[in-house]
Amino acid sequence: MQESPLIPQLASTWLFWLLVGGTLCIGLLRYQYAHRFTRLLRLPFRNYNFDSSELRMDLFNGSLEFWSIAAMALAITLVSKSELQFSDWTLTVRYALIIGVFLTFQGLLYQLAGYIFQDQEAYSSAWHEKSMFLRWAAIWITPLLWWLSFGIGPRELLAIAGGIFLILLYLWALGRTALVLLRKSSLRPYHNLLYLCALEISPVLIFIFLVS
Give the per-residue pLDDT at 84. Answer: 73
pLDDT (tens, 9 = 90+) of the chain, 212 residues, equals 455 555 545 545 788 888 999 999 999 988 988 888 887 777 655 655 554 445 556 788 888 889 999 998 988 888 877 677 777 788 889 889 988 888 888 888 778 877 877 777 777 777 887 788 888 888 888 988 888 887 776 777 777 888 888 888 888 888 888 787 777 777 666 566 666 666 666 666 666 666 66
- Helices H / strands E in the chain, number of each: 8, 0
- The pLDDT, as a whole number, for residue 70 is 92
The pLDDT score that the predictor gives to residue 52 is 44
| Phi, psi (rounded to 5 degrees) for 184 | -105, -25
> Is this structure's pTM higher than 0.75?
yes
Angle (nearest 5°) at CA 20 between 14 and 22: 100
Please answer whether residues 77 and 6 qualify as being in contact, where contact means their C-beta atoms are separated by less than 8 angstroms: no
What pLDDT was estimated at residue 53?
A: 46
H helix intervals, the chain: 14-32, 34-42, 52-55, 59-80, 89-116, 120-150, 155-184, 189-211
